[in-house]
Structure 1
Amino acid sequence: MAMEGRRRAIRLGRRALLRAGVALPLLAAAPATPPPPARRISARLGGRGDAFRLGCHGGALTSLRFAGDRYETDYVRPGAGLGHAHLRFRRGAGEAWRPLSTRGGAVTLRPGALRVTAAADGLALASAWRLEGATLRWTITLANQGADPVEIGDLFLPMPMATDFAQAPSPLAAVMKHSFVSGHGSHIFWMRSNSAGPYLLLLPERDTALEYWSVQPAAPGETESWCAYLHAAAAEGEARAGGTRWRLPVSALTLAPGARRRYGFRLQWVADYAAARAAIAEAGLIDVELAPGMTIPRDLEVELALRSADPIAAITAEHAGSTRITPLPPRAGYQRYRIGFARLGENRLTLHQSGGRATHLEFFATEPLETMIAKRGAFLAAHQHRDPTRWYYGLLGEWAMDRQRLLGPDDYDRIRGWRIYEVTCDDPGLAKPAFLATKNAEHPVAAEVAALDLYIDHFLWGGLQQTEAEPYPFALYGIPDWKQLRDSADPGPKGRSHVWRPYDYPHIMVLYFGMYRIARDHPGIATRHPASLYLARAYGTAMAMFSVPLRLADWSAYRTGFYNECVIPELVAALEAAGQTREAAALEAHWARKVRTFASPDTDLFGSEYPFDSTGFESTQALARAAVDRPAAMGVTPAAARAFRDRQIAANLFCRGWLEPAYYYLGSDYRAGAGDSYTLTYMAQMGGWAVLDYALNDAEDPHALLRLGYASQLSAWALLNSGAAADGHGYWYPGAGNDGAAAGGFEPAPFGTTWLGQPHHRGAWYYACEIDLGFTGALRAARTILADDPILGRLCYGGALAADGPALDWRPSDGVRRRLALRLADGGADLRLLDARFAADRLVRYDSARGQLDFIAERFAPGTSLRAERRCGRGPWQACEVPIDARGGASIDLPLGA
């Protein structure tokens, strides 16, 4: 996302960029209430010896801290109060909804207890807190004291927590909200950016469920908050009338005269994720573990494990005729199932427990990975501007799915808030050729390679990018309009020298490096230039990233993690292999300097173009990988390398959905703290590569992170609009013209505006924006993993296991078919094929007793052998050359190691 767009969002209000909801029209009729008083604590409910240190004022908690906390984090937003309840009710079906809130109600304060009550037209509403040892109880009570039935259309609880990192005085003064709103199994927790415990966990009691949420002011004039709904029939009905695609069941409540209804929550501190899972299960909610993810290709299946103090009585499917549910033997205290989805798109499972309790899991079924990869590549190449009379001849264009319209500099949806740089340069424009080149290095198609060369020769070289003969060789023009900048009469850094935006350089480096790989590895595919030229331009672009912005704008590329720069070590290796040792050493020196910068404990891992950003974790994992694997070459100590590695994976996990089992949360990156913004962005998959890399190379017990990392790298494929004709050619925006188009993010809120101010109604955007960065990360992460998971049993990530025993047989379906990881009970091993892939639809066999891998190879070029790299356990990688027979058969020794 470009600087100008982010600055505009901050001008509109720092939370406007990330807000997923707006104030509900239904609240307009509510009476105005005074804003909360200036922050002061008029009473404490607990002393310093308790688990909670609480302050209250006006019937709400104005301070909530962990007793003895070394960071002194206050979880309640300054000036706000937690604990008020709001509802809308009516006495007759034809009446208008009327509001009632505990704000301004009668307050009762006793040692360890706080209660506030309010009433209107015979309906009483109370909200109460009580300390019970290490637990803080929150109860909401309704009582119909009138003579007629009363209908509650909405009952919601604002959660004004300290989730604004941009406004916080320090990163540890704000907390990230993780929430799963999905019936009786709902839960919410808040954690700090250093991932240090304890986490604050909110769990509903067994008779309490959450069914809806929105970000809104609780009343006119108040600051908006994330609001959880216990009943939402009125709010959801009005949102549905406005076009929302909210999918979870909602309810209203009718109270007879004299009837009461109580709802309860418990707040407690938990040490970490494992403790949170245990607490969820012990409370009778459901701890959900699964693999390979909740975005699931239809040729693969989900292994599902459920743990709860209250057993799951049944699972029902939204599309029963298209869903396979196979019970499996229990394991490690979990009930287990195998699930297969045949219906494209969103698929809901409902988990039933005693007492009519229900929890909903939302999955998304896609086409097979290779089908989607092929469709995306073909779509991008087919939507290239091909008019040679236009200055943007060769541009790979943006596509508006809702209108099925190709955008470009002469029509870039300006009236709907889109900007010219989103269709020509910056991350949205440059992500597309970067993905297309990376895709073709794996699965080359002559027409797509030709489209890339057209882009390079007519749009990029000598246009968006300066040539070697210009003042700043390999420099890239920035935003808002690179063509205007190049043609400007101003020679300074706001005109013709506006080539100092370092974020753009890695995308073009990856483009050239992908073209180099195509020319090097696929001699049957014609390219306009030799491999050496593409390699030289990849190197020149990488070097310019480190030098030009620093020279012109004092903008250091060493202090910020950039998307796609994780390819630099591979580019260094390619330069060395080509005999360009001087160039390799020069580029690695820059990379090592960046490693040293990030290995410093003072470096902010969240800083980017705005104060809190989750976009750098692909880069920081690559930097940590270099530090840990080659500390001497990078100029860091082994201890500093390990400390950096651990700090950055903790930061990655902090802003990633893990305990939230919905396809648009699990594995997705979260933005700005509250977790209310769009999800499934490009960082879901890029950061997923990072989690997988850590799991496979660093984690003592890899399995929990293998589940999360694989779910992450699959997650945003849900945003690729692809499908067969019977599926309407796609789920989000049907029509043959949209088959292979993509969305840049998912909006989980029932309604609101995107970061550009465009209205949404829950669902996928109609622009691709930056999502091809995520697809590129997914290509890097793609691999088949065989693992003996302690909860799920033997798994085949990215493949279908055909035989399970001493000899394992499977069909690889990971999208690339070049990488294999074994994480079995007897040890681990890894393999990557350099100039071939595992054959499609042919079984691969691993004999663990002999440590032998047998497969049929698809060679990139004719030959009698293939090149590969392997490692045993965590030993060094070793190059090997493997003979193949006439039918492509190959055998590789791949012994397991500790």
Structure 2
Amino acid sequence: MVLQDSRVWIAGLSDEGGASSWLAAVMKELVQPDKEELEKLQQFVDGVLWGGLQSKDGPHPYGVRKSLFYYQPDEMPANYYDSNFDWKSWTSWNKQASEAVDRSYDYPHVAAAYWVLYRLARDRQGLVTNHPWDWYLNHAYETSIAMTSYAKDLAVFGQMEGSIFVEILADLKREGMNTQAEALESKMRERADRWRKEAYPFGSEMPWDSTGQEEVYAWTKYFGYLDKAEVTLDAILGYDPAIPHWGYNGSARRYWDFIFAAKDRRLERQLHHYGSGLNAIPLLAEYREHPEDFHLLRVGYGGTMGGLTDIDQEGFASAAFHGFPDMLKSDPFSGDYGPNFFGHAWNTATYIVNHPEFGWIAFGGNVKRKGKVVAVTPHDSFRARVYIASLGLWLTLDAGKFESIEVNPVTGVVRVGLAGATEATPKGLLRIEQPAKVSGVGSYRPAAPLQSQRGAYVVPLQKETTWLALNAGR
């Protein structure tokens, strides 16, 4: 545990280097929730985040400060600060600097924490109990708005984990919170309109950064600025390689963040730093619209899985792997790993592909032929998302898990097997989307009538596997 560091944000639970441990922890709960772990995270939100890292009131309500730890020796007991650190550089913020709320990059971490707890309070039973679901969604909304109010100078750039704002907006609309939805959409359109005017809209506070592309892609696609989404995607493909090596495939090229968030401060090639997980989000989103582009899947899935290589056998997640030959090991600080796992949690899925050379294959699952039927057992880390490329069909679960997927290429019928009911998950919530328009494929819907809840089909779960057939209409 890091209790002090001259880069005060690391011990101060904010910025990428300090917020990452709790961000990764809360993202894990999104689809693998654990009641005991969630009790601790709720305690963290109520005791540290809300009213601590984030202002409850005062001149900047919902503002997120830069660090809870700071260097102010005249307010601390003698010898409080470790003399082994150099406290004279700009990284050792004093109390006033640490309380500033003008760093936009600190806001998505907090918004993501609230949003995950909203989803669990809304879609599961008995897991999140400290507040009702709308408290968490409203805090996610207010945090998003606060970023555009208090951190305007940096909010003009795309934020790491900025995809969270798109989903918060979607949930506000699903819940009928139209006033908040209109306000948030207006603020985000202002940012996207600025990007629309720029030749290369994915700038950052550092000119060499690769953190802005993820959110810039998301909003330019959302508002229909497709030329800007395309140039952003091309930039990602320029620094995200397809190389048959665990450390380089889908590993966004980065060299500098060990200086700001790692134990070993070095300028070197970082293998599967958070650029991997975040930049994979646009790649796989684009693949789902263009399933004929197998390269997007290869690189995007490599980046999505790359973040898991930073986790050791005891569960510790490293900031990244030191790639220069004199070290070749994971850094012993978690550092800024959190956005990497955000990318994994946001993206992980099973992709089923009928490849022209390899035949039926699955990324994140096992394939077995049953006569004319292609049966796939998902083995990705969440088992809550499945994409069937030949149909352009994207199936996601807000609650529940996929146990099996069966595709009949002749009839087009898809059967999904959902895991049995649990105390927290008595029903599945299935969303059916078709981001790719595949010739000859109609609109999919459940064969049996099901109720709908906020745009998702409600599937009552049995004790054992619950099977559901999906047919394509015309």
Q: TM-score, normalised by structure 2?
A: 0.83
SS at match of 1:834: strand
Instruction: Give the Cα separation in 1 of the matches to 2:60 and 2:303.
Output: 38
Kindly state the Cα deviation for residue 493 of structure 1 after the two structures are TM-superposed: 11
Q: In the alignment, which of 484, 490, 507 is matched to residue 109 of structure 2?
A: 507
Given that 2:393 and 2:434 are in contact with CA atoms closer than 8 Å, whether structure 1 keeps it comes out as yes
Question: Can you list the C-alpha shifts for 1:789-822, whole angstroms capped at 9, x where unaligned?
Answer: 2343321111011226531112111111121111
Question: Can you list the C-alpha shifts for 1:477-498, whole angstroms capped at 9, x where unaligned?
Answer: 115846969x99xxx9955861
Q: In the alignment, which of 245, 264, 269 is matched to residue 677 of structure 1?
A: 269
Instruction: Give the Cα separation in 1 of the matches to 2:150 and 2:374.
Output: 52
Given that 1:834 and 1:869 are in contact with CA atoms closer than 8 Å, whether structure 2 keeps it comes out as no
Residues 1:692 and 1:805: Cα distance change in structure 2 (over 3 Å): farther
Q: Does 1:644 align with 2:208?
A: no
Question: Can you list the C-alpha shifts for 1:485-531, whole angstroms capped at 9, x where unaligned?
Answer: 9x99xxx9955861111110010000011111111111131421111
Given that 2:201 and 2:232 are in contact with CA atoms closer than 8 Å, whether structure 1 keeps it comes out as no
Q: Does 1:895 align with 2:457?
A: no
Counterpart of 2:226, as a letter, is R
In the TM superposition, what are the counterparts of 1:125-164 in structure 2 within 5 Å?
Answer: none
Kindly state the Cα deviation for residue 774 of structure 1 after the two structures are TM-superposed: 0.6
Who is 1:794 aligned against? 360
Who is 2:399 aligned against? 835
Given that 2:280 and 2:304 are in contact with CA atoms closer than 8 Å, whether structure 1 keeps it comes out as yes
Who is 2:244 aligned against? 661
Structure 1 residues not aligned, in runs of 5+: 1-405, 632-640, 723-738, 752-760
Kindly state the Cα deviation for residue 872 of structure 1 after the two structures are TM-superposed: 7.5
Given that 1:829 and 1:894 are in contact with CA atoms closer than 8 Å, whether structure 2 keeps it comes out as no
Residues 1:896 and 1:874: Cα distance change in structure 2 (over 3 Å): farther
Who is 2:388 aligned against? 822
Kindly state the Cα deviation for residue 419 of structure 1 after the two structures are TM-superposed: 2.6
Kindly state the Cα deviation for residue 620 of structure 1 after the two structures are TM-superposed: 2.1
Q: In the alignment, which of 65, 68, 73 is matched to residue 477 of structure 1?
A: 65
Instruction: Give the Cα separation in 1 of the matches to 2:29 and 2:211.
Output: 25
Q: Does 1:711 align with 2:306?
A: no
Residues 1:560 and 1:529: Cα distance change in structure 2 (over 3 Å): same
Kindly state the Cα deviation for residue 563 of structure 1 after the two structures are TM-superposed: 1.1
Q: Does 1:777 align with 2:346?
A: no
Instruction: Give the Cα separation in 2 of the matches to 1:850 and 1:791.
Output: 23
Given that 1:870 and 1:894 are in contact with CA atoms closer than 8 Å, whether structure 2 keeps it comes out as no
Who is 2:457 aligned against? 881
Aligned residues: 429
What is the aligned-residue identity percentage?
A: 23
Counterpart of 1:613, as a letter, is D
Kindly state the Cα deviation for residue 556 of structure 1 after the two structures are TM-superposed: 4.4
Kindly state the Cα deviation for residue 837 of structure 1 after the two structures are TM-superposed: 1.7
Who is 1:593 aligned against? 190
Given that 2:399 and 2:428 are in contact with CA atoms closer than 8 Å, whether structure 1 keeps it comes out as no
Highest CA radius of gyration, 1 or 2?
1
Instruction: Give the Cα separation in 2 of the matches to 1:763 and 1:838.
Output: 35
Given that 2:414 and 2:469 are in contact with CA atoms closer than 8 Å, whether structure 1 keeps it comes out as yes
Q: Does 1:564 align with 2:170?
A: no
Who is 2:216 aligned against? 620
Who is 2:91 aligned against? none
Residues 1:893 and 1:667: Cα distance change in structure 2 (over 3 Å): same
Kindly state the Cα deviation for residue 895 of structure 1 after the two structures are TM-superposed: 3.5
SS at match of 1:774: helix
Residues 1:526 and 1:828: Cα distance change in structure 2 (over 3 Å): closer
Q: TM-score, normalised by structure 1?
A: 0.45
Question: Counting strand residues as a fraction of each chain, which structure ranks higher?
Answer: 1
Instruction: Give the Cα separation in 1 of the matches to 2:253 and 2:430.
Output: 40
SS at match of 2:7: coil
Who is 2:26 aligned against? 437
Instruction: Give the Cα separation in 2 of the matches to 1:862 and 1:480.
Output: 36
CA RMSD of aligned residues (A): 2.9
SS at match of 1:832: strand
Instruction: Give the Cα separation in 2 of the matches to 1:570 and 1:747.
Output: 33
Question: Can you list the C-alpha shifts for 1:619-671, whole angstroms capped at 9, x where unaligned?
Answer: 122123313xxx3xxxxxxxxx221121001100111122x332111110113
Kindly state the Cα deviation for residue 451 of structure 1 after the two structures are TM-superposed: 1.3
Who is 1:463 aligned against? 52
SS at match of 1:763: coil
Residues 1:682 and 1:857: Cα distance change in structure 2 (over 3 Å): same
Kindly state the Cα deviation for residue 449 of structure 1 after the two structures are TM-superposed: 0.8
Q: Does 1:696 align with 2:288?
A: yes
Instruction: Give the Cα separation in 2 of the matches to 1:896 and 1:664.
Output: 44
Instruction: Give the Cα separation in 2 of the matches to 1:661 and 1:867.
Output: 35
Instruction: Give the Cα separation in 1 of the matches to 2:271 and 2:189.
Output: 33
Kindly state the Cα deviation for residue 677 of structure 1 after the two structures are TM-superposed: 2.1
Kindly state the Cα deviation for residue 452 of structure 1 after the two structures are TM-superposed: 1.0
Given that 2:349 and 2:382 are in contact with CA atoms closer than 8 Å, whether structure 1 keeps it comes out as yes
Question: Counting helix residues as a fraction of each chain, which structure ranks higher?
Answer: 2
Residues 1:681 and 1:748: Cα distance change in structure 2 (over 3 Å): same
Instruction: Give the Cα separation in 1 of the matches to 2:233 and 2:318.
Output: 27
Runs of 4+ in 1 over 6 A off after TM superposition: 875-878
SS at match of 1:855: strand
Kindly state the Cα deviation for residue 863 of structure 1 after the two structures are TM-superposed: 5.0
Instruction: Give the Cα separation in 2 of the matches to 1:896 and 1:793.
Output: 26
Who is 1:611 aligned against? 207
Instruction: Give the Cα separation in 1 of the matches to 2:317 and 2:272.
Output: 12
Who is 1:579 aligned against? 176
Instruction: Give the Cα separation in 2 of the matches to 1:508 and 1:872.
Output: 29
Counterpart of 2:286, as a letter, is Y
Question: Can you list the C-alpha shifts for 1:705-756, whole angstroms capped at 9, x where unaligned?
Answer: 111111111112111012xxxxxxxxxxxxxxxx1112111122112xxxxx
Given that 1:831 and 1:868 are in contact with CA atoms closer than 8 Å, whether structure 2 keeps it comes out as yes
Q: Does 1:519 align with 2:121?
A: yes
Residues 1:475 and 1:822: Cα distance change in structure 2 (over 3 Å): same
Instruction: Give the Cα separation in 2 of the matches to 1:721 and 1:768.
Output: 11
Instruction: Give the Cα separation in 1 of the matches to 2:163 and 2:7.
Output: 28
Residues 1:837 and 1:484: Cα distance change in structure 2 (over 3 Å): farther
Kindly state the Cα deviation for residue 566 of structure 1 after the two structures are TM-superposed: 0.6
Who is 1:871 aligned against? 434
Q: In the alignment, which of 529, 533, 548 is matched to residue 150 of structure 2?
A: 548
Question: Can you list the C-alpha shifts for 1:258-303, whole angstroms capped at 9, x where unaligned?
Answer: xxxxxxxxxxxxxxxxxxxxxxxxxxxxxxxxxxxxxxxxxxxxxx
Kindly state the Cα deviation for residue 871 of structure 1 after the two structures are TM-superposed: 2.7
